[in-house]
């Protein structure tokens, strides 16, 4: 059971000068990146408005809940601030939206893009989320709501990809610049609790998209999408196993060392199954769909890359009810069999399972390499967790084979 969250805020001015700290306040939700209720709680308890910049520390060793300390920016003097004796350092991997005045610059950019479209904000923007992977603001404008999303450099291809995919069932892009994106509101709700018919439709949408992009891999790579094709992914898996060896058991490391030695042959076997490299969503699960019963929109393309289309399958199957997994997997493989006559998706799926798990370890290792230490708490345990899963899948495959 997740503990309730309380938030303590260390305050700075827009120039980064320390102001003091606020006593901890109870927050309505336990999720650390969920910032809207933090801002509301501070307003209710202390009577001031803040912009949360980043996580400074947490009581617990992993998310979520417990006592959390954030750095926040205030524009006006704060009488209720208490003396704070900590030290605020700089770090070269700090995201722009985690620095004082960083969110203000993002909002100024958004206002300029809206003005170009003749749209005027009707009320102040609301900070919804900020954490190691994104900053999200809700901006009410005349007749609609738009969203400002800002991501780190390793996700910065998302805006260019959405522009290239215009017309598909993806978010409508109103403007982008590097990691900044201005997105139109999407009708409906997030579909974490989708049931079987809708899950099957989600798979259909992904397969259609991936089949469409099979001949445009070079365009995707030119946008900066990561390369998860056999040679590059094999090298990345080898690297993450070696770098994580102190965090996994001797048995798992031995299993993974043998797995790496046999990776070229495994990739060759996958290639004979007949499915081509294409666009991979990278974080494909029901919660990244939004819908209203009439349309489905697939969100959050920052994790996307280029590789085997079935790399998206294991994480999706993990995220849905176990009672649905068999039917969804069978439907998924049937869709690819129909899309590519003569291919062997079932065999490719089995061969890819440990590679897909190891790719997850690669992704989380990349996050850790590109975010500052105080925010690594979100992902610190993930490379070892996914390599444990990889080793278990390898051993299971050896027994079944």
Domain 190-400 has CATH 3.30.450.20: no
* Sequence-ordered strand ranges (E) for 93-150: 126-131, 134-141, 144-150
pLDDT at residue 118 greater than cutoff 80: yes
Give the β-pairing of 66-73 and 5-12: parallel
Write the pLDDT tens digit of every residue in 173-202. 999 999 999 999 998 999 999 999 999 999
Residue 211 CB partners (closer than 8 Å, separation 6+): 278, 339, 340
* Sequence-ordered strand ranges (E) for 253-383: 278-280, 289-291, 296-298, 305-307
In three-state secondary structure terms, 96 is helix
Give the pLDDT mean for 357-370.
Answer: 96
pLDDT at residue 337 greater than cutoff 70: yes
Give the pLDDT mean for 338-345.
Answer: 97
| Residue 399's pLDDT band (cuts 50, 70, 90) | confident
Cis peptide before 165 (omega within 30 of 0): no
- Report the alpha-carbon distance of residue 63 to residue 380 in Å, rounded: 11
Q: Running DSSP on this structure, what letter comes out for residue 42?
A: H
Fold category of 97-184 in CATH? Phosphorylase Kinase; domain 1 (3.30.200)
pLDDT at residue 207 greater than cutoff 90: yes
In three-state secondary structure terms, 361 is helix
Percent of the chain with pLDDT over 90: 93
pLDDT at 401: 56
- Residue 193 burial (10 A CB sphere; 0-12, 13-18, 19+): exposed
Phi, psi for residue 184 in degrees, rounded to 5: -75, 155
| Residue 143's pLDDT band (cuts 50, 70, 90) | confident
Within the chain, which residue ranges are assigned CATH 3.90.1200.10? Answer: 190-400
- The model's pTM: 0.93
Percent of the chain with pLDDT over 70: 100
Of 230, 218, 211, residue with least CA distance to 271: 230
Cβ pair 305, 282 in contact under 8 A: yes
Write the pLDDT tens digit of every residue in 21-65. 999 999 999 999 999 999 999 999 999 999 999 999 999 998 999
pLDDT at 216: 96
* Mean pLDDT score across all residues of the chain: 95
pLDDT at 400: 64
What Cα–Cα distance (Å) separates residue 2 from each residue in 36, 66, 296, 304?
A: 19, 8, 31, 30
pLDDT at 397: 82
* Structural tokens at position 41: 């709680």
Count the residues in the chain. 401
- Report the alpha-carbon distance of residue 304 to residue 283 in Å, rounded: 7
pLDDT at residue 295 greater than cutoff 90: no
């Amino acid at each position: 059971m997740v503990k309730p969250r309380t938030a303590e805020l260390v305050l700075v001015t827009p120039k980064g000068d320390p102001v003091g700290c606020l006593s901890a306040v109870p927050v309505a939700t336990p999720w650390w990146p969920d910032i809207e209720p933090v801002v509301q709680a501070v307003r209710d308890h202390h009577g001031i408005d803040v912009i949360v910049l980043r996580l400074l520390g947490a009581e617990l060793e992993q998310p979520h809940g417990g006592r959390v300390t954030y750095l926040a920016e205030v524009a006006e003097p704060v009488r209720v601030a208490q003396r704070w004796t900590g030290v605020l350092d700089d770090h070269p991997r700090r995201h722009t939206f985690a620095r004082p005045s960083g969110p203000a610059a993002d909002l100024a950019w958004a206002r300029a893009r809206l003005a170009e479209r003749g749209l005027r904000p009707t009320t102040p923007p609301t900070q919804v989320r900020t954490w190691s992977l994104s900053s999200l603001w809700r901006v009410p404008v005349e007749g609609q709501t738009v969203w400002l999303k800002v991501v780190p450099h390793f996700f910065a291809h998302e805006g260019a990809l959405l522009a290239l995919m215009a017309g598909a069932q993806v978010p409508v892009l109103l403007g982008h610049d590097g990691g900044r994106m201005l997105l139109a509101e999407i009708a409906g709700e997030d579909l974490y609790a989708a049931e079987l018919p809708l899950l099957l439709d989600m798979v259909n949408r992904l397969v259609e998209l991936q089949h469409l992009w099979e001949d445009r891999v070079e365009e995707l790579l030119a946008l900066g999408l990561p390369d998860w094709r056999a040679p590059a992914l094999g090298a990345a898996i080898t690297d993450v196993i070696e770098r994580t060896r102190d965090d996994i058991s001797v048995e798992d490391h031995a299993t993974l060392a043998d797995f790496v030695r046999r990776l070229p042959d495994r990739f060759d076997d996958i290639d004979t199954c007949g499915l081509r490299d294409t666009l991979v969503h990278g974080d494909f699960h029901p919660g990244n769909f939004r819908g209203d019963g009439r349309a489905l929109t697939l969100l959050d393309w920052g994790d996307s890359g280029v590789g085997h289309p079935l790399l998206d399958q294991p994480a999706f199957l993990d995220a849905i009810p176990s009672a649905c997994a068999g039917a969804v997997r069978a439907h998924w493989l049937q869709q690819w069999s129909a899309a590519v006559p003569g291919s062997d998706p079932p065999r490719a799926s089995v061969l890819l399972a440990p590679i897909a798990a190891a790719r997850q370890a690669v992704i989380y290792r990349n996050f850790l390499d590109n975010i500052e230490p105080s925010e690594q708490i979100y992902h610190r345990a993930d490379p070892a967790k996914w390599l444990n899963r990889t080793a278990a899948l390898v051993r299971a495959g050896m027994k079944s084979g």
